[in-house]
Structure 1
Amino acid sequence: MMNNIILFVTCLALASSALAADETETEFHYVTGAYADPSKWSSVKKEWKICGVGKRQSPVNLSPKVARLVHNSTALIQTYYKPVEATLKNRGYDIMVSWQEDAGKLVINNTDYKLVQSHWHAPSEHFLNGQRLAMELHMVHKSADGHLAVIGVLLREGEPNAFISRIMDKINSIADILHGEASIGKIDPREFGWDLTKFYEYRGSLTTPPCTEDVIWTIVNKVGTVSRQQIDILVDARRAGYEANARPAQPLYKRMVYLNDQSTPSASALN
């Protein structure tokens, strides 16, 4: 009798996970041991195999110990943003801001990457000095030939985040609506509140399936803040195994990580 009960509960849990995946129109989860958790992504679909065997996977642990220090390479990365109408969307596994028109671009080594969308992960996906923080903002950019560049901003629990405060009511309005959308008016991407005075840069992958290894990651070194209420609201807006939507840190292998410090004069400038 007990074995039958255990079998029933197990089957019910698997069925619930599968149903949740169908409801969110995705086939991956984050809860350890659940259907298609991060350790199983590579076996869910053959197109996702690189999630398990890739050598340039993201996120990673970032620290000065693993990075090569670079000074004042301002010509290598620049941003050009402008305010345009934006929409907030509940994708089930995250809350996303998208722009209806051209909101600007990120330029890396003379290549333009158009800003596509921004979203949050809680807790953070990248680790800083071995520590996982409360939240991480991703600003996703794409070049004309389909290559990706993502700016990551780490947030620790503390004072409210000004941008999230501005759209708090809109987040609440779509929290219980899968694929729910709300107009948030004109948004200047610079309102997210960060600067590129000092940042990490490395080559990696998408942090969700298919884990494509075609991403230039720029992680801002200066950590921002987000309140506990804001964290709870963004987490509560996700359902069915996506409440903690952060992939575990991946091995760095032999990749080079750069720590660009644009606040310190370069050696050539001092001579």
Structure 2
Amino acid sequence: MHITSTIWSLLLFLTILQLISIHAQEVEDEREFDYLKGSEKGPGKWGELHKEWSACNNGKMQSPIDLSNNRVDIIHKSNKLARTYKPCIATIANRGHDIAVHWEGNAGSIKINGTVYSLSQAHWHSPSEHTINGRRFSLELHMVHKTTNPTAKHKIAVIGVLYKIGKSNPFLSKLVPNITLLVKEDNEHRHPGVIDPREIKMSCRRYYNYIGSLTVPPCTEGVVWTISKKVRTVSLDQVKLLRAAVHDHAQKNSRPLQPNRHRDIQLIGP
């Protein structure tokens, strides 16, 4: 009897953990909301669409924000952001408003303040969601990481990379054939095989750091944001392709800037 009770308790605990994880992660089918200003499903209404999304309207630490020089504390550190990525089988998915790369195994991790976060997926927003001194860029890549460490205060860490129009982005160039097929065949998934996250180039020496939220429903807070200071380049054709491949055919998929609310923003670098 005692053993049966213990098993049921364990199953209940695992179920609760699973529900917490589901509510914390980004929505995979994004057709339930949109980015149109004034829309009944637009950013100003996200928090009203589901009770689990209430943080989108009521949260106090929402993202994205403007990374303004007059709000940034400069922290001098010579250590690079600790990344240990590796090639892994991946799927390219059309989630409704964005194109995402989902790694299906161990694609490596980052280490922030002693906590290891495993790489889960990457996706793109155009134009950029975060701004620097009020300047918005053409594209922003989000690399989403999660930790299973039960003692970690923050369960999700996202690396953001900003892009301006210029030379083609080499990482995106390798994905173009599969993304193009998403457009031509109106598919939701492509299975290109192995994708190496190490090919996503970014500056690991200088980066912004702050605590915010997911930028899509459920807008979960307590996300550790790391935004690379170096702005990289992407071609106009690549940006257009990313927008053409999604279901909504909208011109942008960027959430409006959220109130800073006197949050600590650090610029870390040598």
CA distance in 2, matches of 1:48, 1:241: 24
Unpaired stretches in structure 1, ≥5 consecutive residues: 1-23, 263-271
CA distance in 2, matches of 1:255, 1:179: 41
Letter in 1 for 2:89: E
Question: Residue 93 of structure 1: SS of its match in structure 2?
Answer: coil
Out of 63, 67, 70, the position equivalent to 1:65 is 70
User: Bigger shift: 137-146 or 125-134?
Assistant: 137-146
CA distance in 2, matches of 1:212, 1:88: 24
CA distance in 1, matches of 2:141, 2:186: 21
CA distance in 1, matches of 2:35, 2:63: 15
Q: CA RMSD in A?
A: 1.7
CA distance in 1, matches of 2:184, 2:219: 28
Letter in 2 for 1:38: P
Match of 1:92?
96
Can you list the C-alpha shifts for 1:168-215, whole angstroms capped at 9, x where unaligned? 111010125666222223222110111211000000000011111020
Out of 122, 136, 150, the position equivalent to 1:118 is 122
Question: Residue 182 of structure 1: SS of its match in structure 2?
Answer: strand
Letter in 2 for 1:96: A
CA distance in 2, matches of 1:64, 1:101: 39
Can you list the C-alpha shifts for 1:216-271, whole angstroms capped at 9, x where unaligned? 00000000111110011001112337541100000100210000013xxxxxxxxx
Question: Residue 238 of structure 2: SS of its match in structure 1?
Answer: helix
TM-score, with normalisation over the residues of structure 1? Answer: 0.83
Match of 1:14?
none
CA distance in 2, matches of 1:215, 1:49: 16
The percentage of aligned residue pairs carrying the same residue is 44
Contact 1:91 1:179 in 2 (8 A): no
Unpaired stretches in structure 2, ≥5 consecutive residues: 1-28
- Structure 1 segments of 4+ aligned residues over 3 angstroms from their partners: 176-179
CA drift of 1:55 comes to 1.1
Contact 1:92 1:179 in 2 (8 A): no
Question: Residue 222 of structure 1: SS of its match in structure 2?
Answer: coil
Give the total of aligned pairs: 238
Alignment of 1:1-271 (within 5 A): 26-72=31-77, 74=79, 77-144=81-148, 145=150, 147-175=155-183, 180-240=188-248, 242-262=250-270
